C-alpha cells in the first residue's frame, strides 16, 4: 500500500500527462452534459480549471449558452460569484 505522499506523487505524474488529461476532460464533460440532473438544472456550480486539472470550459460555455446560472468560487474572499451575461455579480 502506498503512503499518502507516494500516492500524491504518483497522481501528480499521472495528471501531468496532458494527452490523457485532454481525453479525460472530454469524457468527463460529455458525461456531465448527458446526465439528466445537469439537463434539468437551472444553475450549476463550477470552477475555472488550472493547469493539470480537468478542463470543463466546454461545460461552462454550454451552461451559459443554454441560459443556466453559473456560479464560480471567487478566490479573493472565497465568495461565490454569479456569471451572467459575461459579468460577475455577487449574490
Task: Give the pLDDT of residue 20.
Answer: 78
SS3 letters for 11-37? Answer: HHHHHCCHHHHHHHHHHHHHHHHHCHH
Check whether 89 has a pLDDT greater than 60.
Answer: no
Strands 79-84 and 87-89, sheet pairing: antiparallel
Q: What is the pLDDT of residues 36-78, one digit of tens each?
A: 999 999 999 998 887 778 899 999 999 999 999 998 876 555 5
Task: Give the pLDDT of residue 38.
Answer: 96
Sign of CA dihedral 70, 49, 10, 33: positive
State pTM to two decimals. 0.63
- Work out the average pLDDT over 16-43: 88
Q: What would you measure as the largest C-alpha separation in the chain, in angstroms? A: 49
**1 — pLDDT class (breaks 50, 70, 90):** confident
Amino acid at each position: 500500500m502506498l503512503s499518502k505522499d507516494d500516492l500524491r506523487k504518483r497522481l501528480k505524474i499521472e495528471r501531468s500527462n496532458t494527452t490523457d488529461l485532454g481525453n479525460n476532460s472530454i469524457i468527463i464533460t460529455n458525461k456531465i452534459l448527458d446526465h439528466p440532473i445537469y439537463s434539468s438544472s437551472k444553475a450549476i456550480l463550477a470552477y475555472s480549471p488550472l493547469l493539470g486539472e480537468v478542463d470543463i470550459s466546454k461545460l461552462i460555455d454550454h451552461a451559459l449558452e443554454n441560459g443556466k446560472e453559473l456560479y464560480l468560487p471567487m478566490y479573493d474572499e472565497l465568495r461565490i460569484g454569479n456569471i451572467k451575461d459575461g459579468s460577475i455579480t455577487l449574490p
